[in-house]
Amino acid sequence: MGLSTGNGRASAANPAHDALQQSAREHLLLHFSKQGAAYGADRELLVLERGEGPYVFDTRGRRYVDALSSLFCAQLGYSYGEEMSAAIAAQLGTLAFNTNWGTAHPAAIELAEQLAARAPGDLDHVFFTNGGSESVESAWKIAREHFLALGQPQRTKAIARTTAYHGVTLGALALTGVPAYKQPFGAAPIDVTHVANTNAFRAPDGDDPAGFCARLLREVREAVAAAGPEEVAVIVAEPVQNAGGCLTPPPGYWRGLREIADEHGILLVADSVICGFGRLGNWLGIEHEGVVPDLVTTAKGITSAYAPMGAVFVREPVAEVLFRPAANLRHGITFGGHPLSAAVALKNIEIFERDGVLANVEAQTPHLAARMEELRALPLVGDVRGAGFFWAVELVRDAANGTFDQAERDDLLRGFLPGRLLEAGIIARADDRGDSVVQIAPPLISDAGVLDEIVDALGEVLADAGTHMGATAATGV
Ligand SMILES: Cc1ncc(COP(=O)(O)O)c(C=O)c1O
């Protein structure tokens, strides 16, 4: 995400810091980054070396509130290292590794059982991966094998949503609705129709939730009809869509998706890679919709990022087909369900329940929501939206909610904001895969004081950004 400070700050002598900057430039390729810009002479790469509670510290010793939970992962923050390492050490003392390729190990079996027990409805089966893209890719392949075993090989198509990010492996990328990420890599291996997401702010009927919902669902129905209802395998959506800025669904939307899927024998997939594991105050990020999807993809918070892991939850009737004599699951990942990650995920569940993590999100959400709403008073803020510990502000050009042009977005989102946020001691995300937004997703252990610290810092930065953009417009600089 290119969290270089971008401010060209003069640096006090710090040889260890300088050596890391130099070595990174020489050897470390950054993900989703323009390497030249991220390592530009006017830039300093943000190198984090230590964490404590919801805070992280860089190699200069500067402290930041990790208001993004290290890309929506660090649900528990950073102070559970000893407990996690004890869990890892115990696992290392018995069995460092075995796969789930036709064999298994106790940690994966126990974890699958514990996860199924917490999932809504009959999401009783779990397929382990190493992360979100692999989970989405696996969900697609499980769906395909399900339909092949059912004698429906023609179901090769998918419905997903515009601006949604579902990952980078080529199958997951096909489902992703961000054209700029797909364009370099050629024709998509899955025939996907992208329908409108649930961005009410820019929708003509967005202030009429019932009408908005009906129109969105009509579009899904039309897309299914156009693709051929017998040819569609999956409908994929996030409970609250991240890209575009925490796009919450109107009431009835998920029930509507469930109905459409049921009507046509299509599998409904909730991509809960971000929304799962407490981000919305519950386990899979979908419970509050009162709908049980056929498959749920997860990653990130499943271990609170103390180890890499992902998982796909599969409903009993979908998995049952895979147990039939003719069925085969021709998909596997060497490290999927790694015992060390499974041990961490089990400890993560234990800590969530012992320390009341879901209850904390539920208890603090009204406070966070109210504090975020205060930001509407800023001229730069056009909309505030989100749920649980997952919020966005949409930044607007003027009182008529005008959007910024490319040069303004480059200046605001990639020039001004990254450095200014860090200066204010906060890690948040400025993004314009859809319209211009700044997002926060605090660690789920954050109390009201930490949430206040985050919103106060965000307000201060956005006020400055408003002045900056006003000055830019006035002077044409
Ligand atoms: C909704 C969603 N799905 C899938 C992914 C891909 O996850 P990963 O980066 O772990 O491969 C992401 C990543 O942010 C995501 O937000």
Residues in contact with ligand 1 (CB, 6 Å cut-off): 131-133, 136, 165-167, 238, 242, 271, 273-274, 299
CA-proximal residue: ligand 1, atom 8 (nearest): 132
CA-proximal residue: ligand 1, atom 10 (nearest): 132
Report the pLDDT value the prediction gives residue 172, as an integer from 0 to 100. 98
Sign of CA dihedral 180, 181, 183, 184: positive
pLDDT per position as a tens digit, 240-263: 999 999 999 999 999 999 999 999
Domains in the chain: ranges and CATH = 15-79+356-475 (3.90.1150.10), 81-354 (3.40.640.10)
Mean pLDDT for the stretch of residues 12-36: 94
pLDDT per position as a tens digit, 58-116: 999 999 999 999 999 999 999 999 999 999 999 999 999 999 999 999 999 999 999 99
**Cα of 177 to ligand 1 centre, how many Å?**
13
Report the pLDDT value the prediction gives residue 13, as an integer from 0 to 100. 80
Q: What are the CA-CA distances from residue 67 to residues 122, 217, 239, 301, 453 (Å)?
A: 34, 33, 21, 15, 10
* Sheet-wide strand order for 48-52: 48-52, 55-58, 63-65
Q: List, as one string, the DSSP characters of 145-163.
A: HHHHHTT-TT--EEEEETT
User: Which atom of ligand 1 is closest in space to residue 172's alpha carbon?
Assistant: 4
283, two tokens: 């386990």
**Cα of 133 to ligand 1 centre, how many Å?**
6
Spatial neighbors of 25 by CB under 8 A, at least 6 apart, are 39, 45
What single letter denotes the amino acid at residue 313? F
Mean pLDDT for the stretch of residues 387-411: 97
What is the average pLDDT value for the chain, to the nearest integer? Answer: 95
Which residue shows structure tokens 């300088």? 18
**Cα of 254 to ligand 1 centre, how many Å?**
20
**Cα of 93 to ligand 1 centre, how many Å?**
32
User: Which atom of ligand 1 is closest in space to residue 71's alpha carbon?
Assistant: 14
**Cα of 271 to ligand 1 centre, how many Å?**
9
CA-proximal residue: ligand 1, atom 2 (nearest): 166
User: Which atom of ligand 1 is closest in space to residue 238's alpha carbon?
Assistant: 1
Spatial neighbors of 43 by CB under 8 A, at least 6 apart, are 4, 5, 6, 8, 37
**Cα of 468 to ligand 1 centre, how many Å?**
32
- pLDDT for 7 beyond 80: no
Q: What phi and psi, each to the nearest 5 degrees, are found at residue 128? A: -90, 145
pLDDT per position as a tens digit, 166-215: 999 999 999 999 999 999 999 999 999 999 999 999 999 999 999 999 99
- pLDDT for 367 beyond 70: yes
Mean pLDDT for the stretch of residues 305-332: 97
From 32, 128, 133, give the residue whose CB has the most ligand 1 atoms within 8 Å, as the site to mutate: 133
pLDDT per position as a tens digit, 434-461: 999 999 999 999 999 999 999 999 999 9
pLDDT per position as a tens digit, 123-136: 999 999 999 999 99
- pLDDT for 475 beyond 60: no
Report the pLDDT value the prediction gives residue 42, as an integer from 0 to 100. 86
| Cα(325)–Cα(242) distance, integer angstroms | 40
pLDDT per position as a tens digit, 27-69: 999 999 999 999 999 899 999 999 999 999 999 999 999 999 9
**Cα of 274 to ligand 1 centre, how many Å?**
7
CA-proximal residue: ligand 1, atom 4 (nearest): 166
3-state SS class at 259: helix
Report the pLDDT value the prediction gives residue 476, as an integer from 0 to 100. 45
Q: Which of 268, 300, 303 is nearest to 159 (CA)?
A: 268
3-state secondary structure 292-337: CCCEEEECHHHCCCCCCCEEEEECHHHHHHHCCCCCCCCCCCCCCC
pLDDT per position as a tens digit, 225-234: 999 999 999 9
| Cα(141)–Cα(463) distance, integer angstroms | 47
User: Which atom of ligand 1 is closest in space to residue 272's alpha carbon?
Assistant: 1
Spatial neighbors of 254 by CB under 8 A, at least 6 apart, are 239, 286, 289, 290, 291
| Cα(169)–Cα(133) distance, integer angstroms | 6
From 140, 274, 286, 298, give the residue whose CB has the most ligand 1 atoms within 8 Å, as the site to mutate: 274
159, two tokens: 């419905």
From 165, 181, 333, 335, give the residue whose CB has the most ligand 1 atoms within 8 Å, as the site to mutate: 165
**Cα of 168 to ligand 1 centre, how many Å?**
8
| Cα(312)–Cα(329) distance, integer angstroms | 14
From 136, 169, 241, 273, give the residue whose CB has the most ligand 1 atoms within 8 Å, as the site to mutate: 273
| Cα(293)–Cα(236) distance, integer angstroms | 10
- pLDDT for 5 beyond 90: no
CA-proximal residue: ligand 1, atom 7 (nearest): 132
Say what percent of the chain tops pLDDT 70. Answer: 96
